[in-house]
């Protein structure tokens, strides 16, 4: 079977930039719920015909295992690297956050990653192909922010989960997280507008970040140059968190 890198959230933002960046080196599976936007991402990738689309809404956590398993089998694919970039961030004070919203945030941002990783570590489904896992977290897991309590909690869950998985899956599989700071994407621009929050550019020592800054870090962690790195949470924020 062919070896692919699976990228969730590949229809926009960091996930799309990561897919385009990695397509220079690997065949990729582009995961997302919007097939039209996934197809747009594929056309931006190098060697577009090599890459596959996995259309699925990760909010349906219970169906992930069956759907992804069937997809891998139908396309004769094994996954050697998994990049979880999918995420939602509905912003609201805790007093206005419903139980349904809490569950949706945790399902998409955290539990879907757990389900996918559980499947990819199954020898029956994926053999011993998996070598590398990277979760896209956020500096919000380290720093508090108004209206982002559940989003921050979901990213903190990814950070701690990655450390435990690094211990559990070593030495065959490396597991790390990347914690972006203020990255300009359509999603973050909407967040800024909704909450009247300032852009991160002035707060970061190196100015505004772009999705490619995160994609480059992912590419490094997938490469042989990071062979002795696992269980780490890498902050990529232009120096924002170095401020007092």
Report DSSP letters for 15-84, one per residue: HHHHHHHHTTTS-EEEEES-HHHHHHHHHHSTTGGG-EEEE--TT-GGGHHHHHHHHHHHTTEEEEEEEE
Instruction: Please pick, among 4, 26, 56, 151, the residue that the annotation labels catalytic.
Output: 151
User: Is residue 151 annotated as part of the catalytic site, yes or no?
Assistant: yes
Catalytic residues: 151
């Amino acid at each position: 079977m062919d070896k692919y890198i699976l990228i969730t959230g590949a229809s926009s933002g960091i996930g799309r930039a990561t897919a385009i960046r990695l397509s220079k080196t690997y065949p990729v599976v582009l995961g997302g719920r919007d097939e039209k936007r996934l197809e747009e991402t594929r056309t931006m990738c190098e060697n577009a015909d090599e890459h596959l689309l996995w259309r699925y809404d990760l909010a349906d956590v219970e169906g992930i295992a069956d759907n992804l398993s069937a997809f891998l089998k139908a396309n004769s694919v094994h996954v050697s690297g998994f990049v979880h970039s999918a995420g939602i961030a509905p912003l609201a004070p805790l007093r206005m956050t419903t139980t349904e919203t809490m569950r949706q945030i945790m399902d998409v941002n955290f539990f879907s990653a757990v389900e996918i990783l559980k499947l990819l570590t199954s020898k029956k489904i994926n053999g011993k192909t998996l070598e590398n896992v990277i979760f896209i977290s956020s500096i919000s897991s380290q720093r508090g922010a108004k209206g982002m309590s559940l989003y921050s909690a979901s990213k903190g869950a990814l950070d701690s989960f990655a450390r435990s998985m690094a211990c559990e899956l070593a030495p065959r599989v490396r597991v790390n997280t990347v914690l972006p700071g203020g990255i300009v994407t359509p999603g973050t621009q909407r967040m800024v507008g909704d909450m009247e929050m300032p852009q991160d550019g002035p707060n970061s020592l190196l100015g505004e970040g772009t999705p490619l800054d995160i994609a480059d870090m992912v590419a490094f962690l997938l490469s042989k140059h990071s062979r002795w790195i696992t269980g780490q949470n890498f902050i990529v924020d232009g120096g924002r968190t170095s401020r007092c």
